[in-house]
């Protein structure tokens, strides 16, 4: 893992100090890239803490501009720890938040007032009078004057010393949607459709998302003496590239940060993956070519020219900025053959997959197993493996209230067949009415009753069993771990704790698997995949460190397979295994996905950046992988799933 110093050396804050060999010449703003979001959050928090300490030392205050959302939570957690453990003093800090929905009551579930107090303010010693958050509860006639007053308050405080930003998928900073100019100030705005879709899961449907918001303007942000923008996840890679490498434009308001003299983008490697120096580094700097990088370049060239790998010739390399690769490997035909053979050997048919072994498939939600690796699951079962599918969360938050009403209605209409009578029937009617009354009066985003959450969990569990039954498994092959971190009844989850890790560890100790399959697509909207991954990683390290007992002389660490599919797929150059699927294989996988009826047609959390249903994503990604392999000159399949197996957790 690269150290912060190493990363900083590659991306300096001095534009004049950057050189072509660093590969940043296409970047119009300094970018620091981190291997892990946690590392990034710590360094941003450390920068803020250093600023506060330096100004406290001379008796001066610090004026901060603060954002909301999932990205800065890690920063706030680090600042809270620094306050608690290191004595970081916030008593002279003045804060101005970027934005707030309109209309929105301060105590609303989605209110940024509530978010900031729960995630930061109540844990540090910022005086109440020093906290400023735009008000979403004002009468319309008072909004304009209030926004002017917000600007004046920033000015009276001495201006923003540092402002921390996220970036929306539309490229907005704050709620400055496309079309916002560089001189705009705090004002009401109409939210873009993309922004509303991004927020839909927090409001349990985009119909509940406010159409307006109050936001600092781009000009207000540009007046700050220092700007830090943070981004994580592959779904942000496209907009980061546009904001950093393309000319300034009202279509991407974050691009205006290019004109700020002291702005730095802090991004994880996934969010940076679209930058030229990450995606195609040979276009911007000289490389010390090794075979993995040569493989990446050859796949890129083959795809760019739409020529099979074995049809590429030396002239293709010279005409596409790959002179140095030709010099490093003079026999291009031999190099292309090595890459082709490397890819060909990664195609693994059913007889090359595990047979008669113990397998755990960890599924973060009750449908990730069949969506992301239904084809592999099918073949593992057909190869007589002892397969357990471990559903890590109950998925209850993603079930619509209408599904609960539908199933209650089914039970009521079939009560005679189910043998409900007497006191049991009366109790059912009482509980049913209590639940229906709650659902009728339920506010948008309100946490469900425990009984409703349990019913929604049962719906997801029943669907999960129906899905794996398509593959020849039964309910005995399913384990519902129901991990505690998920038990909030809200979109926001608790951090992974010792109880979560222990549940995974106990399952590993009980089953002693030869193989485990783990979700590696970490860009799901609210981080459940990432949190489940973290729990497995921590448990597996402990499990692998165990010394074999007398009854278990063969304590062999399981082979880890990382799958993707729900949110993105592995790049061709990344995958270690391509598993071909026939048309019938894919049809069986889709049939299993269809069993998840509560997620069919209209899922609660489809992800804002992909309009397709999950079965369509799975179909398109699997057929797309097969098509990509075919274009490289490899055998033609109907579909294929991709896996990484050489990864060490």
Among 490, 493, 472, which residue's Cα sits nearest to residue 392? Answer: 493
pLDDT value for 649: 56
Rg (CA), the chain: 27
Contact call for residues 120 and 84 (beta carbons, < 8 A) = no
**Whether pLDDT at 555 is above 70:** yes
CB 293 within 8 A of CB 302: no
Cα-flanking dihedrals φ and ψ of residue 26, to 5°?
-90, -5
Order of all β-strands in the sheet with 263-268: 31-34, 263-268, 227-231, 162-165, 62-66, 93-97, 131-132
Cis before 103? omega within 30: yes
The pLDDT tens digits for 169-212 are: 889 999 999 999 999 999 999 998 878 877 776 776 777 889 99
What pLDDT shows up at residue 569?
A: 87
549 CB-contact burial (10 Å; exposed 0-12 / middle 13-18 / buried 19+): exposed
Question: Could you check whether 37-278 and 351-402+459-644 share the same CATH topology?
Answer: yes
The ranges assigned to domains in the chain are 37-278, 283-345, 351-402+459-644
Return the higher-pLDDT residue of 572 and 523: 572
**Contact at 8 Å (CB) between 585 and 461?**
no
Task: Give percent of the chain with pLDDT exceeding 90.
Answer: 77
Are 167 and 231 in contact, with CB atoms under 8 Å apart?
yes
Q: What is the pLDDT of residues 332-365, one digit of tens each?
A: 999 999 999 999 999 999 999 999 999 999 999 9
- pTM for the model: 0.85
For 105-153, write each residue's pLDDT tens digit. Answer: 999 888 999 999 999 999 999 999 999 999 999 999 999 999 999 999 9
* Torsion sign (Cα): 624, 628, 630, 634: negative
In tens, the pLDDT along 301-337 reads 999 999 999 999 999 999 999 999 999 999 999 999 9
Give the whole-angstrom CA distance, residue 70 versus residue 66: 13
Per CATH, the homologous superfamily of domain 351-402+459-644 is LmbE-like (3.40.50.10320)
Q: Name, in order, each residue with C-beta under 8 angstroms of 153's C-beta and a sequence gap of 6 or more.
A: 96, 132
CATH architecture, domain 37-278: 3-Layer(aba) Sandwich (3.40)
Give yes or no for a contact between 18 and 24, defined as CB atoms under 8 angstroms apart.
yes
CA dihedral (620, 621, 623, 626) in degrees, to 10, reads: 160
Answer whether 255's CB lies under 8 Å from 249's CB: yes
Closest Cα partner for 581 from 378, 382, 384, 388?
378
Considering only CA atoms, which of 216, 116, 213, 102 is closest in space to residue 160? 216
Name the residues annotated as catalytic: 177
- The DSSP secondary-structure symbol of 382 reads H
Placement of tokens 């010792």 in the chain: 498
The pLDDT value recorded for residue 423 is: 87
3-state SS assignment for residue 626: helix
């Amino acid at each position: 893992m690269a150290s912060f110093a190493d990363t900083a050396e590659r991306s300096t804050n001095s534009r004049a100090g950057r050189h072509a060999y660093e590969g940043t010449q296409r970047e119009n703003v300094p970018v620091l890239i981190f291997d892990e979001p946690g590392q990034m959050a710590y360094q941003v928090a450390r920068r803020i803490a250093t600023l506060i300490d330096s100004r406290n030392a001379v008796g001066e205050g610090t004026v901060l501009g603060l954002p909301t959302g999932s990205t800065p939570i890690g920063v706030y957690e680090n600042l809270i720890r620094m306050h608690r453990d290191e004595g970081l003093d916030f008593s002279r800090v003045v804060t101005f938040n970027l934005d707030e929905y309109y209309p929105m009551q301060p105590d609303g579930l989605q209110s940024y007032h509530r978010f900031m107090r729960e995630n930061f303010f109540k844990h540090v010693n910022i005086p109440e009078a020093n906290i400023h958050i735009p008000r979403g509860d004002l009468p319309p006639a008072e909004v304009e004057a209030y926004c002017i007053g917000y600007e004046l308050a920033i000015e009276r405080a001495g201006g923003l010393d540092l402002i921390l930003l996220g970036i929306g998928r539309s490229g907005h900073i704050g709620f400055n949607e496309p079309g916002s100019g560089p001189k705009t100030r705090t004002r009401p705005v109409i939210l873009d459709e993309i922004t509303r879709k991004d927020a839909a899961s927090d409001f349990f449907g985009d119909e509940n998302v406010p159409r307006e918001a109050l936001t600092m303007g781009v000009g207000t942000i540009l007046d700050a003496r220092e700007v830090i923008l943070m981004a994580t996840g592959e779904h942000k890679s496209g907009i980061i590239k546009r904001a950093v490498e393309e000319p300034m434009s009202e279509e991407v308001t974050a691009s205006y940060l290019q004109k700020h003299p002291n702005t730095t983008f802090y991004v994880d490697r996934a969010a940076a993956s679209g930058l030229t120096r990450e995606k195609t580094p040979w276009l911007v700097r000289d490389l010390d070519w090794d075979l993995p990088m040569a493989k990446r370049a050859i796949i890129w060239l083959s795809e760019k020219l739409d020529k099979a790998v074995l049809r590429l010739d030396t002239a293709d390399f010279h005409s596409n900025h790959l002179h140095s690769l030709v010099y490093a490997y003079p026999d291009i035909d031999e190099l292309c053959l090595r890459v082709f053979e490397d890819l060909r050997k990664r195609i693994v048919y059913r007889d090359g997959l595990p047979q008669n072994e113990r397998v755990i498939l960890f599924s973060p939600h009750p449908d990730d197993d069949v969506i992301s690796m239904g084809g592999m699951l099918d073949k593992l079962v057909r190869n007589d493996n002892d397969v357990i599918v471990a559903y890590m969360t109950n998925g209850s938050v993603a079930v619509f209230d209408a599904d609960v009403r539908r199933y209650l209605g089914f039970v009521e209409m079939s009560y005679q067949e189910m043998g409900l009578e007497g006191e049991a029937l009366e109790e059912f009617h009482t509980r049913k009415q209590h639940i229906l009354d709650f659902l009728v009066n339920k506010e948008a985003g309100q946490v469900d009753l425990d009984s409703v959450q349990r019913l929604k969990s049962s719906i997801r569990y029943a669907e999960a069993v129906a899905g794996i039954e398509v593959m020849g498994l039964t309910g005995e092959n399913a384990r519902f771990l129901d991990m505690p971190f998920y038990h909030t009844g809200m979109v926001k989850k608790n951090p992974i704790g010792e109880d979560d890790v222990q549940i995974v560890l106990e399952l590993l100790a009980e089953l002693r698997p030869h193989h485990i399959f783990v979700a590696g697509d970490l860009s799901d909207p609210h981080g459940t995949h990432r949190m489940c991954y973290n729990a497995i990683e921590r448990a597996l390290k402990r499990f692998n460190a165990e010394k074999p007992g007398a009854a278990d002389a063969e304590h062999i660490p399981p082979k880890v397979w990382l799958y993707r599919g729900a949110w993105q797929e592995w790049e061709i150059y990344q995958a270690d295994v391509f598993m071909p699927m026939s048309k019938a294989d894919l049809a069986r996988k889709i049939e299993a996905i269809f069993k998840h009826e509560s997620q069919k047609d209209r899922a609660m959390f489809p992800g804002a950046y992909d309009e397709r249903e999950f079965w369509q994503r799975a179909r398109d990604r699997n057929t797309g992988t097969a098509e990509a392999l075919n274009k490289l000159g490899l055998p033609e399949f109907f579909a294929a799933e991709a896996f990484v197996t050489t990864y060490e957790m």
